Amino acid sequence: MTALTTVAPETAPNWGRIALTLFALGALVFLVAFEQGALTGGAPVLHEAFHDARHLLGFPCH
């Protein structure tokens, strides 16, 4: 009589999730560090939030 064995599948990294996370982090760094109102339409609330984040993180802005 032979014993049944199961082989666990190898888990590969989920490249889609990794790529999406890297893109989101890159977009966040761009918005905080370099965005000067062109993408946010000059919305004062977003501009001030990003400006305050620049100061908090030590990015030079002015």
> Six-digit token pair at 56?
């908090």
Listed in order, strand segments (DSSP E) in 1-62 are none
DSSP class of residue 9?
P
Across 31-56, average pLDDT = 81
Residue 7 lies in a domain: no
Whether 2 is covered by a domain: the verdict is: no
Domain assignment of residue 6, yes or no:
no
Give pTM, 2 decimals. Answer: 0.60
Of all residues in the chain, the percent with pLDDT exceeding 70 is: 94
Domain that holds residue 33: 15-57
Average pLDDT over the chain, rounded to an integer: 81
- Specify the higher pLDDT residue, 38 or 62: 38
9 lies in a domain? no
- Do 43 and 50 touch, CB atoms closer than 8 A? no
Determine the pLDDT at residue 20. 94
Residues 6 or more apart in contact with residue 37 via CB below 8 angstroms:
43, 47
Residue 48 located in a structural domain: yes
**Cα atoms in the 13 Å half-sphere on the side-chain side of 45:** 0
Label residue 12 by pLDDT band (50, 70, 90).
Answer: low
